Amino acid sequence: MDYKIIHKAKEISVRTIRQAGEISKEKFDNFVDLRSKDEFGDVVTEVDHLAEEIIIKQIRTTFPTHQIHSEEAGIIGTENDWLWLIDPLDGTNNFAIGLPVFTTSITLMYRREPVLGVVYEPLTDRLFVSVLGEGTYCNKRQIQIKSNFNIFKGNIGWIQGHKVQNDSRAVKLRQFIDVNFKRMMRLWAPTLQWCMLAKGDIDGIILYNSEGDDLYSGILMVKEAGGIVIDFDGNPFTGMKEEPYIIACHPDHKQELLRIVKEGLG
């Protein structure tokens, strides 16, 4: 693995993601094109496409041999060791209703493992950057996940895939989490929840079958901030999975959250 490539990718991503973020900031509460995306009620706006175009153009110019998978454009290029994952507007549904909770996410994968994650929240001007082995930073300040003396008085993020909908097991687990913690959070902007966990603002994440371009930047953020990311059986989560089921938290809370998930699923 060539860290020269990763550091060059970091430089390009930081510059480009700010440009993309400026578009979403300017267009927030002022966009004109809104379309239905799928049968689950998701939408896409002109901002998704404008931001995506900026990011893809820069990546293809700098790394023409790398493969790209982007939320709207799909797969670009041929499969190889380097894969970029782009979510130009994570939280489009929030954006569409005037809720200021959204980000842009760029991830670089090497052999199916995240090595660079960059997430930008334009309305707060918070830039999260993580490089494998080099920690996680928010606006150039290193951040660390936090341990809560009583996890059950904490805030747990819930993330579920679009196709999960009201799957009975998901509903059962979601309700169990809701009544066992201070608050269960559903932001509909997953990358922001991952960054909040890495920063110590929330205490854990439980993810139910949600794979996509917004997942792996967050996983790297949490791991590099000192957190653990495991599956529902307690094994370390590695690689890319078509149907991931994940717990992420401070290592101190591994057993507590594993128990909650097992009890919640009954």
Class for domain 151-265, per CATH? alpha beta
Integer-rounded Cα Rg, in Å, for the chain is 18
Would you state the pLDDT for residue 40? 53
Q: 90 labelled as ligand-binding?
A: yes
Tokens 């805030």 found at = 155
Cα torsion 83, 213, 51, 115 to 10°: value is -50
Q: Tokens for 182?
A: 């201070």
Q: 83 labelled as ligand-binding?
A: no
Would you state the pLDDT for residue 32? 53
| Nearest by Cα to 98 from 16, 161, 43, 37 | 43
Q: For 3-142, CATH number?
A: 3.30.540.10
Q: 214 labelled as ligand-binding?
A: yes
Give the separation between CA 100 and CA 192, rounded to whole angstroms. 12
Q: 71 labelled as ligand-binding?
A: yes
Burial (CB count within 10 angstroms: exposed 0-12, middle 13-18, buried 19+), residue 39: exposed
Would you state the pLDDT for residue 34? 57
Give the separation between CA 242 and CA 139, rounded to whole angstroms. 32
Would you state the pLDDT for residue 47? 83
Give the separation between CA 264 and CA 208, rounded to whole angstroms. 12
Residues of the chain scoring pLDDT < 70: 31-44
Whether 151-265 and 3-142 are alike in CATH topology: the answer is no
Q: Which residues of 209-244 are buried (b: 16+ CB within 10 A; e: fewer)?
A: bbebbbbbbbbbbbbbbbbbbbbbeeeebeeeeeeb
Which residue ranges make up each domain of the chain?
A: 3-142, 151-265
Q: Are strands 245-249 and 228-231 parallel, antiparallel or unpaired?
A: antiparallel
